[in-house]
Chains A and B, each alone.
Chain A
């Protein structure tokens, strides 16, 4: 469905080498390499507990790495906090940690990057420019066809699909280079999943390279260019999506199929 051209031949935006994460004696992530190429959608698959979330948290500075280096545009970059990642143009939707239930959609979208008024009130007291934020959100939601009527309502009033749509829109608004999505369709119905995946595709159209964790093999085959498989914290295979089918992927995830040459 998508352009599954040879994305591997394009230059890498984000590269990680030898990423490990230990929790005390537990090795959650063991010496994993990753490369994300310009304009591609890279799927990360693996069983529960395989280390997928840990990988993206370590990549984006949400947790500290035990070891490993991250390169951005080929240059080694220190990403030690979520702010470092954002500054580099990486926007992340973390699993179960996308929105604050208690605050409005507007405040959620701009959380951590609120727009303050362009006058002394803004400069001295950090008074917010709600008008500007509302306008930006409305134009963004219009552009992405996200239907949220009341952006002043608390996030908890919305369905899972709407919340995910808001979280994904946030990556379009702020992500300059890379969007990282941890199970964007988990807990969504069929129609809502389709909506979310259409948004994921439009991220690509907005010039973002995407890393997406998913359990849905159909989504991998239909929307992604390459796929990497994690098992028990280790990277077991990287493939071009056009070279695999669902059964092969499931085999790699469970360990029934042994990995051959990587893409």
Chain B
């Protein structure tokens, strides 16, 4: 426990923190991330001519947006001290299911979307429930979910041609802009949820110190199930946007998305150990990651090397998180 500032903290009980203090506080929390982003962006800006265009910036956002929708859910789960490795597979299941709802059952898009979201939420809640009841570590339970849901997606999709969806549906994935708008809407709602609501703000307490939360009368298990449920819901929404964008659904989609999402969340500065973080940080982290991917490909570096680079960055980000915790 640090005691920095106990002098200011003791001063005057009536003083109010103004909006400037809040801004300053937030800036102090994320300035390192911003600096990293500036460095990385600057590097590619200098190194690659085509990288400098505004279209590139737009496509960075556009390509990141589907993953960012999913990562908003990951942010909630990680803040609460949980972990869901199965969201990539939930993504696959919901994508395929929504495809079946429209291509085979002929359901109208809004119903297909509604059912898809419900399915994502249900699969997430199932993870949470199993974990809360069995007390098996989240890592193991959701690793099971990763494999099982992937299998489910393959079974559902086998022998089916899931493509050519109605315009009223594919509109959700139009260009870079529609996914981007959906992403920002999701990010704002997730941010409001985490900072303004009872359930959302309890995620920080549960992730920070589950035992204190329990002793304070917080229904920890029930809350956790909700967090996993929201994680699944947002994985489902991300899948829906992607299926709309691609105009086909297949079970191979969503592979490793959970890892990319966790990477973005941690790079942004949300703790892998719970209790701290925010959705703005996740967007920053996602932007950093996507900048690296796009920048490297503009420089002619292949996808395999890009994966190695991202892997290295994940390790650096987690190490940084561990280091910050130990020096606090």
A interface list, Cβ under 8 A from B: 62, 81-83, 86, 92, 94, 97-103, 107, 111-114, 116, 125-128, 138, 141-142, 146-150, 152-153, 156-160, 162
Contact = CB atoms under 8 A, between A and B. Distances in A.
Given A141-B13, A153-B9, A112 B217 contact: yes
Contacts of A147: 10-13
Contact of B212 (A83, A100, A142, A162): A100
Given A102-B204, A107-B201, A138-B14, A82 B216 contact: yes
Given A86-B217, A111-B205, A160-B1, A125 B197 contact: yes
B197 A157 contact: no
Contacts of A150: 8-9, 15, 17, 21
Nearest to A85: B217
B9 A148 contact: yes
Contacts, number: 118
A49 to B, nearest CB: 20
B55 interface: no
Given A100-B209, A101-B209, A157-B9, A114 B201 contact: yes
Contacts of A83: 217
B17 A103 contact: no
A126 B209 contact: no
Give 3 nearest A-B pairs by CB, closest first. Answer: A102-B208, A112-B217, A102-B275
B118 interface: no
B5 A126 contact: no
A237 B207 CA distance: 41
12 contacts: A92-B215, A97-B209, A98-B212, A100-B212, A102-B207, A111-B205, A112-B213, A114-B198, A128-B196, A142-B14, A149-B9, A152-B17
Of A83, A103, A156, most B-chain CB atoms within 10 Å: A103
B211 A97 contact: yes
A85 to B, nearest CB: 9
B22 to A, nearest CB: 7
Given A100-B208, A103-B208, A142 B1 contact: no
Contacts of B209: 97, 100-102
B276 interface: yes
Contacts of A99: 212
A162 B8 contact: no
B327 interface: no
Given A100-B208, A125-B197, A141-B13, 6 more contacts: A100-B209, A114-B198, A126-B198, A148-B9, A153-B9, A157-B3
A101 B9 contact: no
B134 interface: no
Contact of B217 (A82, A98, A160): A82
A22 to B, nearest CB: 21
Given A101-B209, A128-B198, A107 B204 contact: yes
B313 interface: no
A154 B230 CA distance: 26
A149 B198 contact: no
Contacts of A159: 3, 6, 9
Given A102-B208, A111-B205, A138 B13 contact: yes
Contacts of B15: 149-150
Given A102-B208, A103-B208, A111 B216 contact: yes
Contacts of A111: 202, 205, 212-213, 216, 218
Given A100-B205, A102-B276, A114-B198, A82 B215 contact: yes
Given A112-B218, A162-B6, A146 B1 contact: no
B135 interface: no
Interface in B179-221: 196-199, 201-202, 204-205, 207-209, 211-218
Nearest to B207: A102
Contacts of B197: 125-128
A147 B9 CA distance: 8
A187 B315 CA distance: 37
A127 B214 CA distance: 21
B215 A62 contact: yes
